[in-house]
Chains A and B, each alone.
Chain A
Amino acid sequence: MSKGGIILKGLVKDNPTFVLVLGMCPTLGTTTSAINGFGMGVATMFVLILSNIFISLVAGGIPDKVRIPCYIVIIASFVTILQLVMQAFVPSMYEVLGLFIPLIVVNCIVLGRAEAFANKNGVLDSACDGLGVGLGFTCALTLIGLVREILGSGSAFGFKFMEGDGILAFVLAPGAFFVLAYLMVIFRKLTGNL
């Protein structure tokens, strides 16, 4: 498969949020606004690409029985790097995303791609796969965040276009579930994935 095909597959056909339904905790927990969703998506993509590249490089040398713990250590190392980088350059975003940054370690998307793709494919393909799935995740999170922000606080990407407050429930927990459910249905309808 071509590099572009791999990226497109992660973005649409294997979209981690709407099709595979993986990594639901950050999807619901951090999408209170479009910017937060975007930040979380990019943070996850960073770890996903690097861990995919690294795992595809070392996969041949890891005994089959201990591969999962090894992958987790590799992913946790990249998450630690991400934490330090974010603390240094975007401390306000780090503060907002809080607990969900260290929790990228247990995000099933990252481990899932390592197990399903990176350990049997080349470095470049794995990087493309990480990029595609990461972009799919970022787009989905930004979209969910955007819808919740518009309905919940009457603004988009931080720009207020409406007087008053909007429907508070959409910024709080229940809105996350409702918005994700309806977006998932729309995505299924559009891609004919019923």
Chain B
Amino acid sequence: MEILIIIISAIFVNNIVLTQFLGICPFLGVSTKVDTAMGMAAAVCFVMAISTLVTYLLQYYILVPLGIEFMQTLTFILVIAALVQMIEIILKKISPALYKALGIFLPLITTNCCVLGVAIMVVSKEFAFGGEAHMLNLGESVLYSVAMAMGFGVALILFAGIREQLELSNVPKAFKGVPIALVTAGILALAFMGFSGLV
């Protein structure tokens, strides 16, 4: 039951893009086609799950015992950057097909703030999923990060679908490009507000 609540709350109620404002750059940047949006979403999901796993272990087995939690930002970003690079190399070797599909999106993910954001979020905040508020354990953290990435994917793919239609419509000159995309995102965020209070 709790698993279901975690997934629903991460995808709809606390959607990472539309309610928490993380990962806006790729949201605006690579969402002009549904295909590329799917590729990006898959790559983010993959990297986010692995990096949350690693940073969680790093936080509780190295930073906390040594009492150097203030090094969190520095170590997390380094680990994420190294991980992305490593995943790229490993994928190239063992699964060229997947590498081809995700290839161009992987380097972009290092500077995608949702990966670092979720990694910091799960180790610094208490969550209450229906029950008492508590710090997440390892399994919940990874599940939460995957669900968050799925929320990113849902928002990205929905937005890409709308933008494909938007291409064909007649937009005032001053609104061309980013402003109309922002207005669209605002309406989408308005729709997602309807989910608040669900969990």
User: What residues make up the interface of A, taking CB atoms closer than 8 Å to B?
Assistant: 21-22, 24-26, 28-29, 69, 72-73, 76-77, 79-80, 83-84, 99, 102-103, 105-108, 111, 169, 172-178, 180-182, 184-185, 188-189, 194
Question: Which residues of chain B have C-beta atoms less than 8 A from A102's C-beta?
Answer: 72-73, 116, 120
Contact of A25 (CB < 8 Å), options: B25, B73, B121, B173: B25
> What's the minimum C-beta distance from B195 to chain A, rounded to whole angstroms?
12
A174, B189: Cβ atoms closer than 8 Å: yes
- A-side contacts of B187, CB under 8 Å: 174
Quick one: which of B77, B173, B179 contacts A184, CB cutoff 8 A? B179
Known pairs A80-B70, A173-B189, A173-B193; list 15 more (Cβ under 8 Å). Answer: A25-B25, A76-B78, A102-B116, A105-B73, A105-B116, A169-B190, A174-B186, A174-B190, A177-B182, A177-B183, A178-B182, A181-B186, A184-B178, A185-B179, A188-B179
Measured CB to CB, the closest approach of chain B to A91, in angstroms, equals 14
Minimum CB–CB distance for A66 against chain B, Å: 11
**Interface pair B77/A99, CB less than 8 Å apart:** no
With CB as the reference atom, state the residue of chain A lying closest to B174. Answer: A185
Judge whether A181 and B24 touch: CB under 8 Å. no
C-alpha spacing A29/B20, complex, angstroms: 7
Closest CB-CB distance, B172 to chain A, in whole Å?
8
Cβ contacts A to B, 19 pairs, < 8 Å: A25-B25, A26-B21, A29-B22, A73-B78, A102-B72, A103-B113, A105-B73, A106-B116, A169-B193, A173-B21, A173-B193, A174-B187, A176-B21, A177-B183, A181-B180, A184-B179, A185-B175, A189-B174, A194-B173
Give a binary string over B159-196; 1 marks a CB under 8 Å from any A CB, 0 the rest: 00000000000000111001110110111011011000
Residues of A within 8 A of B186 (CB): 174-178, 181
